[in-house]
């Protein structure tokens, strides 16, 4: 089972994205935890979805979108195409 640590509360957006990506696309069970000590005790695959340096698992720094609750326009969104698929570059100047 994959363990995902998030310092923010388990939001509906985070749960939705994790469920879609890990359950539906990859067929992997997951759990989301917000206790860093519990996260560090995990021996299976782990993702640290926070800015906290926990030195355990793969760390992904959040952008903030999954912790938001409202709907608003995204201004100046850079887009690209990769292998015929729509994508959002990690930096505005990145070319794919």
Q: CB count, 10 Å around CB of 26?
A: 11
Taking only the tens place, the pLDDT of each residue in 18-76 is: 999 999 999 999 999 999 999 999 999 999 999 899 999 999 888 766 666 777 777 77
Q: Which sequence spans correspond to the domains of the chain?
A: 2-70
pTM over cut 0.75? no
Taking only the tens place, the pLDDT of each residue in 40-50 is: 999 999 999 99
In degrees, to the nearest 5, what angle opens at C-alpha 41 toward C-alphas 10 and 36?
40
Alpha-carbon distance of 70 to 14, in angstroms, equals 14
């Amino acid at each position: 089972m994959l363990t995902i640590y998030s310092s923010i509360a388990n939001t509906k957006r985070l749960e939705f994205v994790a469920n879609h990506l890990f359950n539906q696309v990859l067929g992997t069970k997951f759990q989301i935890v917000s206790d860093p000590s519990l996260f560090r005790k995990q021996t299976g695959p782990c993702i640290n979805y926070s800015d906290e340096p926990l030195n355990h698992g793969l760390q992904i720094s959040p952008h903030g979108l999954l912790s938001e609750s409202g709907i608003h326009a995204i201004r100046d969104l850079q887009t690209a195409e990769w292998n015929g698929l729509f994508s959002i570059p990690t930096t505005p100047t990145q070319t794919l």
